[in-house]
Structure formats: C-alpha cells, structure tokens
C-alpha cells in the first residue's frame, strides 16, 4: 500500500513538472518580456535591405534576393494589424544602402546598383508615406555603400562605409535646405557593414572590421559616440562580441546590437548598451544566426527581418547551406 502511495506521488510530481515545462515553453513561444517572437513574415526574403520607421510603421527598402542582387522593393509592416503591404517602388534599385527618417519622410541613401555607372551610389531618394511617392534629393557628396545613418534634431548624418576603400567620412543632410555639410570624421576606420543608433541626441557607431578585407582585417567591438552639437567624437566601452554585418536598433534609450558575423561564423547574439550606465549587457539571442539583416523599433518593440542565415544540409550532414529567411522577429525589452 505504501509503495502505491509513493508511486502516485511520484506520478503527480512528474505531471506537475511536465506541465510547468510546457507552460514555460508556451511563454517563450507566445512572447513574454525579453524574448523573441515571430510575426507575419516579410513578403520578399532578402538581405542587404534597410528598415525605417514612420509613425509606427516599418518600411523595408531595397536589398538582394540572391537571384536579383538589386531591388527597388518597398514593403510596409503594420504592427497593429500584423500585416504587410507593397508600396511604391524606390526609383533606384539597390542593396547595402542605409535609411533615416526625418519629419515623417524616409530617406534612402547610398548603396550599390548595377543600373548606375560605377555602381557605388551617392543617390538620395525620399519617400512620403502619406502620398506613397518618391522624390530625388541632393546627392551625398561621397558615394558609398555599407554605411550607417542616424538622425538628430531633424538632420540626417551619414557615417563611414565603402567607396573603393574604408571611409571615416561623416556628412550631414538638412532636408530643409536640401544641402550637405562635412562633419568631423569618425575616429576609427571601419570596413562597411557596421551599425549605428541615436540615443538622446548622440549618434553611436559600433562594430565592423578593419582594415582591408582578406589582408589582416580584424573584427571590431569599438563603440564611438558623436555629439552633433560639439561636432566631436568620444570613445565608449567596446561591444563584448566584435562583429560585422549585424543590425542595430534603439528601444527605451538603449542601443541593441543584433546578430551578425564573427570569426566563428553567423551568430544570433544580442547585446545592449545603456548610455546612462555606460555598460553592455547580454539579452536573449535570436533563434538562429544571421547577417546583412535590418532592424527597426516601433512602440517600444525591436523588430528584425531579412538577412542571410544557414541550416544543416547537403553532404556531409553537417555542411551548412545559406538561405534567405522571411521571418520577422519582435523583441520587447
């Protein structure tokens, strides 16, 4: 009789444990605070795209599908309805561009295109979501790709990138005058494909590699902060995981560095920099590693989409096959 009671107690305990595990797994999938959740996939899988946010709507611009390396696509995601819509195509098809938003207008800057002589672009095109139209603006003084963009007080800042060689160039664009101005150069030379974000009026630039691809290039965790008012740079604590081809976004005045490529390959690592505390912390990783993706923040949630990922396949079994994921992932701090 006693052994029967013990058995029933053991079974009851196992049921409780299993139920707790299932509940915990459900919380992870359904999306609690600090976890990644899947939203409606982007209609067109692509890498080298850029994402901008206007009035809580995410706009995915340009990129590369593999089959078509230069896209003019513009697709918009509404977090409230969890739906995507196609919008007016960008006049210049391109990939590895950057975008910034000023006063409700999205600006697409630089990149690479097969349709333009020299391929590396100085092109600036502005999208108005209200009229669903594009207009051409004054070209960027320095053609480049793989650059970073940040907006402070209605001025768009373009930082670094590639234009035949790695650049430290910083140029600002004022939509009110449709004119460009040269600013203090970035202290650290970086190859293309680093990232940037603006927190409390300061532009933060992080990661990348230096100095020549394939010739002693090393990954960087370097974090540098640009103060537009002083036109000056300062150095901050480095990102714990040096990498390139990652994405960055700002939520609740914290800068998030998401995914990318390290010396060990693709990673889903997420690290966050808090300028007030002046330190980095680790956050929940992406479900899988990826690079050349894009990020945008809306209503306190960080969204990541596009890029190139990999899965096991082929022969031998552990070989990795690159693919373009369509998933849209959301993170709520």
pLDDT reported for residue 69: 84
pLDDT digits (tens, 9 = 90+) for 250-308: 999 999 999 999 999 999 999 999 999 999 999 999 999 999 999 999 999 999 999 99
Give the start-to-end residue ranges of the domains of the chain: 36-331
pLDDT digits (tens, 9 = 90+) for 117-146: 669 999 999 999 999 999 999 999 999 999
**Cα separation of 273 and 291, whole Å?**
20
pLDDT reported for residue 318: 59
Q: Average pLDDT of 213-240?
A: 91
Q: What is the mean pLDDT of the chain?
A: 88
**Cα separation of 115 and 118, whole Å?**
9
- Number of helical (H) and strand (E) elements in the chain, helices listed first: 1, 28
pLDDT reported for residue 26: 32
User: Per the confidence metrics, is the pTM higher than 0.75?
Assistant: yes
Token couple for 230: 């002083």
Q: For the residues of 186-199, what is the DSSP string, one character each?
A: PSS-B-S--EEEEE
Task: Strand 74-78: give its sheet, edge to edge.
Answer: 50-54, 57-61, 74-78, 83-86
**pLDDT of 105 strictly over 60:** yes
pLDDT reported for residue 213: 52
pLDDT band per the 50, 70, 90 thresholds, residue 52: very high
157 or 322, which is more confident: 157
**Surface-to-core class of residue 150, CB atoms within 10 Å of its CB (0-12 exposed, 13-18 middle, 19+ buried):** buried
- Inter-residue contact 63 to 293 (CB < 8 Å): no
pLDDT reported for residue 11: 33
**Cα separation of 268 and 209, whole Å?**
18
Q: Which CATH number fits the domain 36-331, given the four candidates 2.120.10.80, 1.50.10.10, 2.70.170.10, 1.10.2020.10? A: 2.120.10.80
Backbone angle region of 200, left / alpha / beta, with phi > 0 → left and psi within -120 to 50 → alpha = left
């Amino acid at each position: 009789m006693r052994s029967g009671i013990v058995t029933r107690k053991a079974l009851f305990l196992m049921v409780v444990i299993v139920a707790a595990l299932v509940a915990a797994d459900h919380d992870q999938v359904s999306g609690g605070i600090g976890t990644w959740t899947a939203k409606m996939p982007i209609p067109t899988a692509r890498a080298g795209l850029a994402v901008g946010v206007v009035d809580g709507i995410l706009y995915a611009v340009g990129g590369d599908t593999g089959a078509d390396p230069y896209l003019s696509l513009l697709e918009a995601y509404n977090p409230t309805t969890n739906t995507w819509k196609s919008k007016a195509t960008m006049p210049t098809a391109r990939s590895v561009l950057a975008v910034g938003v000023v006063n409700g207008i999205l600006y697409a800057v630089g990149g690479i295109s097969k349709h333009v002589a020299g391929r590396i672009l100085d092109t600036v095109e502005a999208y108005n979501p209200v009229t669903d139209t594009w207009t051409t603006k004054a070209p960027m003084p320095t053609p480049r790709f793989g650059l970073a963009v940040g907006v402070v007080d209605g001025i768009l800042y373009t930082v670094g990138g590639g234009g035949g060689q790695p650049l430290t160039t910083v140029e600002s664009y004022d939509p009110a005058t449709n004119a460009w101005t040269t600013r203090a150069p970035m202290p650290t030379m970086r190859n293309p494909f680093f990232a940037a974000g603006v927190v409390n009026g300061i532009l933060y630039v992080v990661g990348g590699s230096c100095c020549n691809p394939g010739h002693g290039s090393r990954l960087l965790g370097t974090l540098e902060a640009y103060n537009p008012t002083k036109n000056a740079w300062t150095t901050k604590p480095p990102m714990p995981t040096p990498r390139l081809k990652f994405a960055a976004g700002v939520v609740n005045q914290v800068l998030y560095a998401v995914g990318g490529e390290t010396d060990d390959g693709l990673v889903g690592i997420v690290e966050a920099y808090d300028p007030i505390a002046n330190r980095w912390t680790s956050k929940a990783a992406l479900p899988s590693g990826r690079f050349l993706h894009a990020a945008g923040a809306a209503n306190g949630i960080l969204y990541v989409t596009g890029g190139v990922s990999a899965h096991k396949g082929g022969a031998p079994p552990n070989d990795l096959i690159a693919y373009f994921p369509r998933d849209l992932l959301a993170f709520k701090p």
